[in-house]
Amino acid sequence: MTATVIGSNPGPTKEGRPVLACVPCASYEAAELTPAVERLLEPWGGFAALVRPGMTVFLKPNMLSAKSPAAAATTHPAVVEVVAAACRARGARVVIGDSPPLTMKRVEDFWEATGYRAAADRAGAELVALEREPAREITVTGPRGPLALRITDWYWRADLVINLCKLKTHNLTVLTGAVKNHFGLVPGLQKAQLHLRLPRATEFGALLADLAAAVPMGLHVMDGIVGMDGNGPAGGRPVPTGVLLAARDPVTVDLGASAVAGIEPADQPILRQCRARGWGPASLDEVVRHGDDPRRWRFAGFQVPAVPLLYRVPEPLFNVLRRFIWARPALVPARCIRCGACARVCAARAAELGRDGVRFRYGRCISCFCCLEVCPVEAIAMRSSPLIQVALYLRAWKRKLQGRSV
């Protein structure tokens, strides 16, 4: 393993103002998707300028769950296929990889369920299981001091890394998009340990901002054709948000996604931390737009998780009021198949599978919601305290009056 120290912030783009491409697309059918992707990449000269013969291109989709594409929990395989095929057509070797939580399945099961195996075969691309591949250690700044992280070696072996992220909600980070998708470059159970080490959304957002800045990718493409709202990132509601977004930096893409979802960047721990580091544009007013303005594509009624209310409470006050302001997992017993995936992923050992089924030990729970992400049958719901529920009710009314997401 090679130890490499990489700076945490690449600073503002050297190209001047960042460019955000936003192209409407209502379908994953090739007849509509292929020209939409080509139009999306026009500001950077398209695939012809980005990909040269003999290059190795690494595609990093969001392959969170072994669910069908219709669940909208993963980057749609049609988007992966169109990008992979275009790179192959220009003579590149294409490698596709992610590191999903392998609590009960093999990565091959994810490839089958998500449609990635068939998509890769059709495009002539290779799938790799990042857990079985070499990794290098880097050091990122980290919210509590330097943090050593192992990153898949494919990040360095590729000539071009393309981030193929998904527009979704997230119970911890509010939205999960381009910045968050860098987390999958960290293979294996290290991700769960990082949740345990940095349990608050603010700290976790800081880690993700530092990580994304330390391992910049060459291009970021967001699948927002069908997004996910509500109880994301695995068990939310598929919603036809109808757009593709692209930029050369992840913050710009996530600002576009925030506009579509109708969620203020200031309400998201990751984007707040990027702003605190002076990384990326502060708002869409600072970007050059190609195609549509994503604000025109705001999805009315996009449902937002409860977490913004939690992380905005200052740490000392949060510790005092912990009994009254909480959000935590709760079992839906009728759905549970007792597979044990939740217990295996829980780094805090707060989820236990016993003879009577799953039991949560809330005294240990850090509300990371990794158990929700891995449950294959959506047998875990998020429950919040009565105080949070009242606050959510008031917020929903306020947002309705303002014409924003609920």
**Residue 350 binds ligand SF4, judged by CB under 6 A:** yes
Query: Cβ 120 to ligand SF4, closest distance in Å?
Result: 28
CA 325, CA 308: separation in Å to the nearest integer?
12
Cis preceding-peptide flag for 265 (omega within 30 of 0) = no
**Segment lying near ligand SF4 (by CB under 6 A), choices 83-91, 232-240, 357-365, 392-400:** 357-365
CA 94, CA 179: separation in Å to the nearest integer?
22
Query: Cβ 340 to ligand SF4, closest distance in Å?
Result: 5
Query: How many beta carbons lie within 10 A of that of residue 222, not counting itself?
Result: 31
CA 224, CA 233: separation in Å to the nearest integer?
14
**Residue 204 binds ligand SF4, judged by CB under 6 A:** no
**Residue 238 binds ligand SF4, judged by CB under 6 A:** no
From candidates 346, 384, 392, 405, binder to ligand SF4 by CB under 6 A: 346
Alpha carbon separation from 42 to 46, 47, 292 (Å, rounded): 5, 9, 13
From candidates 49, 321, 330, 337, binder to ligand SF4 by CB under 6 A: 337
**Which is closer to ligand SF4, CB of 62 or CB of 171?**
171
**Residue 394 binds ligand SF4, judged by CB under 6 A:** no
Query: Cβ 310 to ligand SF4, closest distance in Å?
Result: 13
Query: Cβ 172 to ligand SF4, closest distance in Å?
Result: 9
* Stretch (H or E) spanning 390: helix 386-402
**Which is closer to ligand SF4, CB of 80 or CB of 339?**
339
Q: Binding residues for ligand SF4, how many (CB under 6 A)?
A: 28
Return the structure tokens found at 4.
């490499």
From candidates 148, 377, 390, 394, binder to ligand SF4 by CB under 6 A: 377
Query: Cβ 119 to ligand SF4, closest distance in Å?
Result: 27
**Segment lying near ligand SF4 (by CB under 6 A), choices 30-38, 284-292, 298-306, 359-367:** 359-367
| Centroid of chain to Cα 203 | 16
CA 110, CA 184: separation in Å to the nearest integer?
14
From candidates 351, 388, 392, 405, binder to ligand SF4 by CB under 6 A: 351
Query: Cβ 83 to ligand SF4, closest distance in Å?
Result: 32
**Residue 339 binds ligand SF4, judged by CB under 6 A:** yes
**Segment lying near ligand SF4 (by CB under 6 A), choices 7-15, 76-84, 205-213, 358-366:** 358-366
From candidates 369, 385, 392, 404, binder to ligand SF4 by CB under 6 A: 369
Return the half-sphere exposure (C-beta side, CA atoms, 13 A cut-off) of residue 192: 24
Residues 6+ apart with CB under 8 A from 43: 19, 21, 288, 290
**Residue 336 binds ligand SF4, judged by CB under 6 A:** yes
**Segment lying near ligand SF4 (by CB under 6 A), choices 25-33, 132-140, 235-243, 362-370:** 362-370
CB of 138 closer than 8 Å to CB of 6: yes
**Residue 189 binds ligand SF4, judged by CB under 6 A:** no
Q: Are strands 174-176 and 160-170 parallel, antiparallel or unpaired?
A: antiparallel
**Residue 201 binds ligand SF4, judged by CB under 6 A:** no
CB of 57 closer than 8 Å to CB of 87: yes
DSSP string, 6-75: --S---S-TTSS-EEEEEE----SHHHHHHHHHHHTGGGTHHHHH--TT-EEEEEE-B-SS--GGG-SB-
CA 80, CA 97: separation in Å to the nearest integer?
11
**Which is closer to ligand SF4, CB of 199 or CB of 242?**
199
Q: Which residues bind ligand SF4 (CB under 6 A)?
A: 329, 331, 336-342, 345-346, 348, 350-351, 353, 358, 360, 365-371, 375, 377, 379-380
